[in-house]
Structure 1
Amino acid sequence: MKLGFLTACLPERDLTDIARWAARTGFEALEVAGWPSPDDRNHIRVDRFDEAECHRVRRIFAETGLTLSSIAYYENNLHPREGAQVNAHVRACVDAAAALGCPTVGTFVGRDPGLTVRDNLKLATDVFGPLVEYATARGVRIAIENCVMKSWHPDGYPGNLAYSPELWEWMFTLGLKLNYDPSHLVPLGIDPVAALRPYVANVAHVQAKDTEILPGAIDRYGCYGPISGEKGWYRFRVPGLGQVDWVRVIDALHEAGYDGTVSVEHEDPVWSGSTDRVQTGLGIAYRTLRPMIPG
């Protein structure tokens, strides 16, 4: 098992600088952001991936000794207007991953908010069937993060249909894999370890993010949060500063034989605002997880 982080938290930094800092700090892997321009989360330029870009990325990982665990592009593949464009970029991420020897591409299922859940699942079957076939032919797995993405629905309902074990089982029938993130299970009242244990064989990647429950806020908003659609009664933190029991989570992964990457996803509002603060937050996550993931 390797310990890494998702580069999207450092959009202002070049991939070379990020990789050198990661290696010096003791991280062993990077999950690299691959959004299209003009989004600044594009540490791999998937939208203009050519021999020069392939050589640049390969050189960075060769020089630092890091592992490229996944190419990250978390967008709505079922968007009613932009879905086809998102699907095309997922294919481009798969092509880049195959060229770089990267095993996974991370994305979301998404949702069309104008359709019922059942109709969305039918749509997703049609969309992801060809995407999985395309990726499999190139030796790449598509890993879906179990984020709820309430902000994608006008009323704050789940905007990414991958938030529960029931939906994971549906995804697996399509050949999709799970990018397991325990932080999203805590606000749903789901035990992250109990949810994980039956499905470790289908986990292709792990994201490490924590969840802090804000005292008293749920008594005002309820579990669905405020009418604005914001989270309201919880917030994401770096591992070690929330409610996730990382000893149990990592132990369950070890016990089941998971030997992939645990990638810190830094969305902590306390440790944000500058490169130094983000790196401090990543350092907190590193010191929390390193004892459980021997380097």
Structure 2
Amino acid sequence: MKLGMLTACLPTWPLERVAAWAADTGYERLEVAVWPGTGGRDFEAAHIDVARFDAAEHDRVQGLLRETGLEISALAYYENNLHPDPGRRAEIRAHLKHAVDAARALGVPYVGTFIGRDPSLSVPDNQREAERVLPELVDYAGERGVRLVIENCVMEGWHPDGHPGNIAYSPELWEWMFSLGLYLNWDPSHLMWLGIDPLATIAPYADRIAHAQAKDIELDPVARNRYGFFGTTAKNGDPWATGWWRYRVPGRGQVDWARVVDRLYETGFTGTLSVEHEDPLWGGTPEKVCQGLTIAHRTLRPLVVA
């Protein structure tokens, strides 16, 4: 197992600066964000230009890896592959293929994304649509020696009522998506607010957990008693507001990281545990983000055998 970090939390820094800081801090791998850089979410970083990935970009990235001693665990492009707008869906599909092509050129084994959802349709109807459109993407990646890994993020902000906007949120649905040739980028934080024990989901699906993300969560059961499971309706313009939980960096929430890492080792996981920083207390500026990433590193480094 190697300790890595997702670069999306530092969207204003170039990859050179992110990599230098990560290597100096003691991280071993980068999960590199490859959004086009035109999205609306503040974590949509474009640290590799996969849409115009040429020999110069290839040499830039490979030289940076040699210089820092880092490896790339995955390229990250987490978008809605079932977007209800056909034009937007086509854009996402094309960019995901660019990410796969860049991963192949760089020798990166995984590209991370979401299944997504059309919020106007039921989960079963979305499954049928996914069965129609996703196998071609799986084949495209497989023919290039790359696997698509799906994060089990609920993406509740993509649904007007805070319901799941990414239909990969439960082990029941993982089993379905595995049948399509997809793999899992396992994240315990999403499971905890859904009421699913993260530890119970590792061993049964160990052969499909290709990558893992380290994000913590802080739950407030008293607030949940007021708002209910799907969170507050008074979102004040923030579709992600729930009112009863928030993401934290590892070591500042309620995930038992010693047991999580131990269970990953027990089941033979040899991939990357990648810190995904979305902690509002340690955000807002690159300096605070780096402090949060340092807290995460200090929490996890003693647990992950160097």
TM-score between both structures, scaled by the size of structure 2: 0.94
Answer yes or no: is 1:254 the counterpart of 2:235: no
Bigger mean CA offset, 155-164 vs 39-48: 39-48
For 1:236, the aligned partner's letter is Y
**Which range is displaced more, 46-55 or 103-112?**
46-55
> 1:37: how far off?
3.1
Q: Which runs of 4+ in 1 moved over 4 A?
A: none
**Hey, what's the Cα distance between the residues in 2 that align with 1:263 and 1:110?**
21
Aligned to 1:185: 191
Which stretches in structure 1 are left out of the alignment for 5+ residues? none
Please say if 1:19 is aligned against 2:19. yes
Describe the superposition over 1:12-39 as per-residue Cα deviations: whole angstroms up to 9, x where unpaired: 1110111111111110000000001334
What's the C-alpha RMSD, in Å, of the aligned pairs?
Answer: 1.0
Match of 1:291 in 2: 302
SS in 1 for 2:18: helix
Aligned mate of 2:173, from 167, 171, 177: 167
Task: Say whether 1:71 aligns with 2:75.
Answer: yes
* Residue 98 of structure 2 corresponds to residue 92 of structure 1: yes
Separation (CA, whole Å) in 1 of partners of 2:92 and 2:156: 19
Secondary structure of residue in 2 paired with 1:270 = helix
Letter in 1 for 2:247: F
Q: Which moved more, 1:183-192 or 1:218-227?
A: 218-227
* Matched residue SS, 2:150: strand
Q: Give, in angstroms, the shift of residue 214 of structure 1.
A: 2.5
Pairs within 5 Å for 1:101-180: 101-180=107-186
TM-superposition CA deviations, 1:101-136 (whole Å, max 9, x none): 001000000000111111100111111100000000
3-state SS, counterpart of residue 74 of structure 1? strand
**2:61 matched to 1:57?**
yes
8 Å Cα contact 1:177-1:202 kept in structure 2: yes
Alpha-carbon displacement from aligned partner over 1:28-61 (angstroms, at most 9, x marks no partner)? 0000000013346000111211111111111111
Q: Which amino acid in structure 2 is aligned with residue 143 of structure 1?
A: V
Give the AA of the match of 1:226.
T
Distance 1:109 1:38 in 2: 20
- TM value normalised by structure 1: 0.98
Q: Give the whole-Å Cα distance in 1 for the aligned partners of 2:92 and 2:56.
A: 24
Inter-partner Cα distance in structure 2 for 1:83 and 1:184: 25
The alpha carbon displacement at 1:274 in A equals 1.2
More displaced, 225-234 or 156-165? 225-234
Q: Does 1:28 align with 2:28?
A: yes
Give the superposition deviation at 1:83: 1.4
Query: Which of 220, 225, 232 pairs up with 2:231?
Result: 225
Query: Residue 259 of structure 1: SS of its match in structure 2?
Result: coil
Q: Which of 277, 280, 285 is the matching residue for 1:274? A: 285
Contact 1:37 1:47 in 2 (8 A): no
Identical columns (%): 60
Asked whether the equivalents of residues 217 and 246 of structure 2 are also in contact (C-alpha less than 8 Å), the reply is yes
In structure 1, distance between residues paired with 2:286 and 2:167: 33
- Other-structure match for 1:7: 7
CA contact (8 A) 2:191 2:197 kept: yes
Instruction: Specify every segment of 5 or more residues in structure 2 that has no aligned partner in the other structure, as ranges.
Output: none
Q: 2:201 aligned with 1:195, yes or no?
A: yes
Residue 286 of structure 1 aligns to a residue whose secondary structure is: helix
CA distance in 2, matches of 1:103, 1:169: 22
Of 81-90 and 66-75, deviating more is 81-90
Q: Which amino acid aligns with 2:269?
A: Y
What is the CA deviation profile of residues 48-96 of structure 1, one whole-angstrom value per residue up to 9, with x for unaligned ones?
1111111111111111111100000001000011112111111110000
Tell whether the 8 Å contact from 2:161 to 2:230 is kept in structure 1 after alignment: no
Distance 1:38 1:172 in 2: 31
3-state SS in 1 of match to 2:80: coil
The answer to whether the 8 A contact 1:181-1:207 is kept is yes
* 1:228-259 residue CA offsets vs partner (Å, 9 max, x unmatched): 45221000000011111111111111011111
8 Å Cα contact 1:69/1:104 also seen in 2 = yes
SS at 1:185 equivalent: helix
Secondary structure of 2:232 counterpart? coil
Cα distance in 1 for partners of 2:285, 2:122 equals: 41
Instruction: Give me the whole-angstrom Cα distance separating, in 2, the residues matched to 1:231 and 1:92.
Output: 34
Counterpart residue type for residue 116 of structure 1: S
